[in-house]
Amino acid sequence: MSKYLEFSGISKAFPGVQALDNISFRAESGRVLALLGENGAGKSTLLKILSGDISPDSGSIIINGKTQVFTSPHQAIQAGVSVIYQERQIVPALSVIENIFCGDLPKTRFGMIDKRTLRRKTEEILKVFGLPIDPDEPVGRLPVAYQQMVEVMKAYRRNSDIICFDEPTAPLTDSEINVLFDIINQLKKEGKIIIYVSHRLAEIFKVTDDIVVLKDGKLVKTFKTSETNQQELIRAMVGRDVGDTYKNLKRNDKIGDVLLEVKDLCTDVLDHVSFTLRRGEVLGLAGLVGAGRTEVARAIFGADRITSGEIIFDGKKVHFKEPKDAIKAGIALCPEDRKDQGLVLFRSIRENTTMPILKKISKWIFINRQEERKVTEEAVTKFTIRTPSINKLVRELSGGNQQKVILGRWTNSLIQTKLLILDEPTKGIDVGTKAEIYQMVCDFARAGLSVIFISSELPEVINVADRIIVMHNGKITGSVLREDATEENVLSLAMLE
């Protein structure tokens, strides 16, 4: 009997979102199944359910005919499920051997770690994978791709039948990706069930056999990889023609003089970054994860230490020591991670909106509640934040509405924002709200604000921004105007070696 993994009617809701809605499909052994979908489609949630990280509200997981209920990651591992996450689960200071056998070290008769068996087994695994890795090397010192391989080896060592990859290629270079694909093909030959989560279409055609497309928590369609093409998949993922969203944007056509000039900016991560930004311009920052886009934003905003270089803002040479100073000068940042860096989740919409303008709505040391309510209500109306009350905790809002609270914080009548930096503003937000946010970005520009728009989603950054700067490894590798930008030319700049 061939092995299989079946999801049967899985549903899961989080405050404000139906993350998964009655998902059912089947993955067969010896085949690679792709989970495809935009950010927020529910791929990660599904993986988390499979790995026992969270439990579904309803539905079940069936492995080889047996219904499984995982209440902890440990149980999932016992049942033969290994998930290799984007954020690697390795212990950097420990050796390759120790990481591979982490949690299951063989013992000698005396209860000591059996180093000899350990080494022999590790070398066997390394041979299977055919990788030139020193088993005693601390994993933290290996290249990223090999760190990931160590995780795959860990899954292999556990004899897992089901191996899942969550966006495995995001941090990898081209040659490293090929190493990964060889390994995946080998695991496939051994009859493993492989689930491959990615939104990079080219890869999916290279390595997978079946494709399941998710959108807004629903299963749209399943495909055989050999019987479909990119257009069909994109249509399934997006559910409508994306081109129109961008074509219909009302953009700013009056770009003014230079507002920001960055010259040879260096930090721990950045390497001589220089660019200019005009009033009313939307500047896109593209690049792979870790290219240094966020660090540019943080350096300008005074959140990270600058080692050398200069920033001229609004005609003055500036050096912000703290975000507070940058805010005073008229710079605003919507950080990458809404929940960890953008919002105080357990406080109200009101309190989250007025954070930078407390002084302006206070008399002496006392906050004027009426004033505060007025500003917040203005933001709620302006950005159509769906909430019954401005006193609702931000935690209880959906991702899109949370993002709007941050936008409301920086663009109300009491704050003089001249430069708005948006770092991944549409991450984890549903497609409809994304389109709203694109139009807001253009509206900000029309109102004379300069916007730096950072995004990992290429189509969005090349279609919303007026000009796109591409980064790689802390350096700027190119600058393209929207008219000339294609996914191909931006991506090739982003992956420049």
Partner 1 sequence: MVGRRIRHILKSKEMILVLISIVIIIIFRLVNPNFLSVGSLSGIMQAMSLTGIIAVGIGTLLIGGSIDLSASSVCLFGGVLCALLIRANVPWGLAMVITLIAGFVIGVINAFLITKVKMMPFIATIAVSNVLSGINLAVTNAQNVPIPVESFWWGGKLVFGIFPVPFIIMTLLMIVYAFILNKTQFGRNVYLVGGNMTAARLAGVNPKKIHTILYINSSVLAAFAGIVLASRMQSAAPQSQSDSQLNALTAAILGGIAFTGGAGGMAGCFIGVMLFSFFNSGLNSLALDAYWSLIASGCLLIIALTVDYFNELSREKNLKVKKPASAAKKEGA
Contacts with partner 1, residue ranges (CB under 8 A): 13, 15-18, 301, 303, 322-324, 327-328, 333, 335, 340-347, 351, 355-356, 358-359, 362, 365-367, 386, 396, 409
Q: Which of 86, 89, 94, 171 minimizes the C-alpha distance to 140? A: 94
Q: Closest approach of Cβ 73 to partner 1, in Å? A: 22
Nearer to partner 1, 29 or 403 (CB): 403
Nearer to partner 1, 102 or 345 (CB): 345
Q: DSSP assignment, residue 93?
A: T
Q: DSSP assignment, residue 95?
A: B
Q: Closest approach of Cβ 346 to partner 1, in Å? A: 5
Nearer to partner 1, 16 or 239 (CB): 16
Nearer to partner 1, 207 or 327 (CB): 327
Residue type for 86, please?
Answer: Q
What's the rounded Cα separation, in Å, for the pair 215 and 79? 28
Q: Closest approach of Cβ 45 to partner 1, in Å? A: 15
Separation of CA 257 from chain center = 33
Nearer to partner 1, 249 or 345 (CB): 345
Using H for helix, E for strand and C for coil, what is the string for 234-248? HHHHHCCCHHHHHHC
Nearer to partner 1, 201 or 303 (CB): 303
- Residue 414, judged by CB atoms within 10 A of its CB (0-12, 13-18, 19+), counts as middle
Q: What share of the chain is helix, strand, coil (3-state, %, to 5)?
A: 35, 25, 35
Do the Cβ atoms of 455 and 461 come closer than 8 Å?
yes
- Residue 392, judged by CB atoms within 10 A of its CB (0-12, 13-18, 19+), counts as middle
Q: Closest approach of Cβ 347 to partner 1, in Å? A: 5
Nearer to partner 1, 112 or 365 (CB): 365
Other Cβ atoms less than 10 A from the Cβ of 132: the count is 6
Q: Which residues contact 181 (CB under 8 A, 6 or more apart)?
A: 206, 207
| Sequence-ordered strand ranges (E) for 155-307 | 162-166, 193-197, 210-215, 218-224, 258-266, 273-278, 282-287
Phi, psi of 271 (to 5 degrees): -125, 100
Do the Cβ atoms of 299 and 329 come closer than 8 Å?
no
Q: Closest approach of Cβ 86 to partner 1, in Å? A: 21
Do the Cβ atoms of 268 and 307 come closer than 8 Å?
yes
Nearer to partner 1, 207 or 429 (CB): 429
Q: Closest approach of Cβ 300 to partner 1, in Å? A: 13
Q: Closest approach of Cβ 22 to partner 1, in Å? A: 13
Helix (H) or strand (E) holding 458: helix 458-464
Nearer to partner 1, 169 or 401 (CB): 401
Q: Closest approach of Cβ 17 to partner 1, in Å? A: 8
Q: Closest approach of Cβ 19 to partner 1, in Å? A: 10
